Every structure is written in C-alpha cells, then in structure tokens.
Amino acid sequence: MTNKIMYAHKEQAQEAARRSYIDRGVQLWVYVCDSCHTWHLTSRAPMKESLHGLRRSSPQGRNSWGGKPILSRKKGFKPRNH
C-alpha cells in the first residue's frame, strides 16, 4: 500500500497538478500506477518517448522510472523495503 494520493481518473490528477502549480508554483506530472492502476502525481518529468526503449531492468526485474538501476552503488547505501 502506498501513502500517495490516488485519483480514479486522469483528469482528476491533471487538475490536482494544475492546482499545485497555480497555488504553490510546483510543477507535477501525472502517471498511472502499475500496482494499483490509479493515477498519481510525481515531481519527476516523464522520459522522452525515444528513450522508453532504453530502460534497464534491475536484478529484481523491476524497471527504474528514470532509466537508472534501482540499486545504488553509493557507499553506505541502504535499500528501501519495497
């Protein structure tokens, strides 16, 4: 389960993103969640269509949203519980 706000329709999520920009100056994008199949907001800009085929998979078989592996090689990195 996620703590993210769920929107049943894309139009609702787009309106919430628009209000966020008007009220707070924060630009958000909408996306449909692969897990719960509802719409959410994100601060990460979508990847360009030409880059979608370049996404890499992590060892667990999950794709990262930005094309980078989910697991970090940074010193002291502690993976999140998914």
Residue 51's pLDDT is what? 57
31 in a domain, yes or no? yes
13 in a domain, yes or no? yes
CA distance 6 to 19: 16
* C-alpha separations of 33 from 11, 66, 76, 80 in Å: 15, 15, 30, 19
Work out how many domains the chain is built from and give that number. Answer: 1
pLDDT tens digit string along 26-57? 999 999 999 899 999 999 988 776 555 555 44
41 in a domain, yes or no? yes
61 in a domain, yes or no? no
**Identity at 28, one-letter amino acid code:** L
Other beta carbons within 10 angstroms of residue 31's beta carbon come to: 14
8 in a domain, yes or no? yes
68 in a domain, yes or no? no
58 in a domain, yes or no? no
